[in-house]
Amino acid sequence: MFEVGGQTAIVTGAANGIGEVISRRLANAGARVAIADIDDQAAAEAAERIGKHAFPLHLDITDANSVRQAIETLLVRTQSLEIVVNNAGLAGKAAPVWEQTDDDWNRALAINVTGPFFMCRAVMPHMRSRRYGRVVNIASHCCPAKISGSDSNSLTISTITHGRSKNDLDWKGAGLTSFRLPTGETMMGELWTHRLLATDPTSARKRISEVCCPPRWRF
């Protein structure tokens, strides 16, 4: 079991599914956890289920102002933010490229790519000033595995799964680390996040690759 006592985490899309499980695990490990979601009622209910370390926070990751406001509100409340889990994501329409509409594509892009960018941009000044931060980007196994049938999901999440070098360079040297997790099934999200946060980034990444990923999926 890892310990993150005294730290603050924000998990996007935390009112349901993998996000709620990640939030519960972080809260059990001692973190204050912002259940950040566009669905206020579901976020409040999830925070209630998780317990006293969790609290709801309104956030629309597709809206830069909403993200900025949410991070400001969070920092006023907790004074610090150490962990960001960019979990909110959209599976998208299960259809090949030629059946995807402009709206299908733009919606997937806004949630799966622009949202994590807004989050990173909003939290980075605080984390850089503290020279500490951990960002986990939840992606999908559909990208490395080249699963067909949901192309707006595959193509947009590929950006998160593979678009790492420049972002990593920006964060390096400022005491910050970012991760991408290509989740394969719901349980994997919890397991991998647990393992990543348990130890130092380098050995965690190596262990995850060894334990969870077939060779062709490794980072």
Ligand X SMILES: NC(=O)c1ccc[n+]([C@@H]2O[C@H](COP(=O)([O-])OP(=O)(O)OC[C@H]3O[C@@H](n4cnc5c(N)ncnc54)[C@H](O)[C@@H]3O)[C@@H](O)[C@H]2O)c1
- Considering the complex, what minimum distance in angstroms separates the CB of residue 106 from ligand X? 13
Q: Which stretch binds ligand X (CB under 6 A): 74-82, 128-136, 172-180, 184-192?
A: 184-192
60, 82, 104, 151: which one contacts ligand X (CB under 6 A)? 60
Residue closer to ligand X by CB (options 132, 217) is: 217
59, 71, 197, 208: which one contacts ligand X (CB under 6 A)? 59
What is the residue whose two structure tokens read 């669905």? Answer: 39
Q: Which residues contact 146 (CB under 8 A, 6 or more apart)?
A: 154
User: Rounded to an integer, what distance in angstroms lies between the CA atom of residue 144 and that of residue 113?
Assistant: 17
Q: What number of other Cβ atoms are within 10 A of residue 57's Cβ?
A: 23
Q: Are 190 and 149 in contact (CB under 8 A)?
A: no
- Considering the complex, what minimum distance in angstroms separates the CB of residue 98 from ligand X? 22
Q: What number of other Cβ atoms are within 10 A of residue 50's Cβ?
A: 21
| 185 touching ligand X, by CB under 6 A | yes
| 19 touching ligand X, by CB under 6 A | yes
7, 9, 10, 12: which one contacts ligand X (CB under 6 A)? 12
Amino acid at 131: R
- Considering the complex, what minimum distance in angstroms separates the CB of residue 58 from ligand X? 9
Pair of tokens at residue 123: 């939290």
**Phi, psi at 79, each rounded to 5°:** 70, -10
Q: Which residues contact 102 (CB under 8 A, 6 or more apart)?
A: none
Q: Which residue is nearest to ligand X (CB)?
A: 89
> In the window 63-92, what residues touch ligand X (CB under 6 A)?
87-89, 91
Which residues would be at the binding site for ligand X (CB under 6 A)? 12-13, 15-19, 37-39, 42, 59-62, 87-89, 91, 111, 138, 140-141, 183, 185-186, 189
